């Protein structure tokens, strides 16, 4: 493979990554500030009471912050947040990747 081809491939990969990141940003159901508050609130409740395999703390936070419930729950479904502890383990990470990725684009 010639050098220009390799450069084109690398540029194409970079472009794909940017598109994926942009799609992930666009899918976020709330602002970074709101999501920070959401995840911190869920974490605090988990530390106090533990996970009962539902999203009760997430739903409390959604109402407390005034988020769009169906949008947030749909996004949690897409990011493996099916109970409060999975929300901390999986969905929080998905949001953090987006948040941190924004600064390197």
Q: From the list 43, 46, 51, 65, which residue makes contact with Zn ion (rule: CB under 5 A)?
A: 51
What mask, x for binding Zn ion by CB under 5 A, covers residues 74 to 93? ---------x-x--------
**What is the Cα–Cα distance from 101 to 35, expressed in whole angstroms?**
15
Cα–Cα distance between 54 and 24 in angstroms, integer?
A: 25
What Cα–Cα distance (Å) separates residue 85 from each residue in 14, 22, 39, 59?
33, 27, 11, 13
Nearer to Zn ion (CB atom), residue 22 or residue 90: 90
Q: Smallest distance from the beta carbon of 78 to Zn ion, in angstroms?
A: 17
Site for Zn ion contains 43 (CB under 5 A): no
What does the binding site for Zn ion look like in residue numbers (CB under 5 A)? 51, 83, 85
């Amino acid at each position: 493979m010639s050098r220009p081809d390799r450069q084109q491939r690398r540029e194409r990969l970079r472009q794909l990554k940017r598109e994926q990141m942009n799609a992930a940003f666009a899918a976020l159901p709330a602002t970074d500030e709101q999501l920070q508050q959401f995840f911190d609130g869920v974490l605090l409740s988990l530390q106090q009471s533990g996970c009962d395999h539902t999203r009760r703390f997430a739903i409390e936070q959604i109402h407390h912050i005034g988020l769009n419930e169906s949008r947030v729950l749909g996004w949690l479904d897409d990011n493996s947040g099916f109970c409060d502890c999975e929300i901390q383990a999986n969905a929080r990470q998905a949001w953090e990747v987006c948040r941190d990725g924004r600064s390197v684009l």
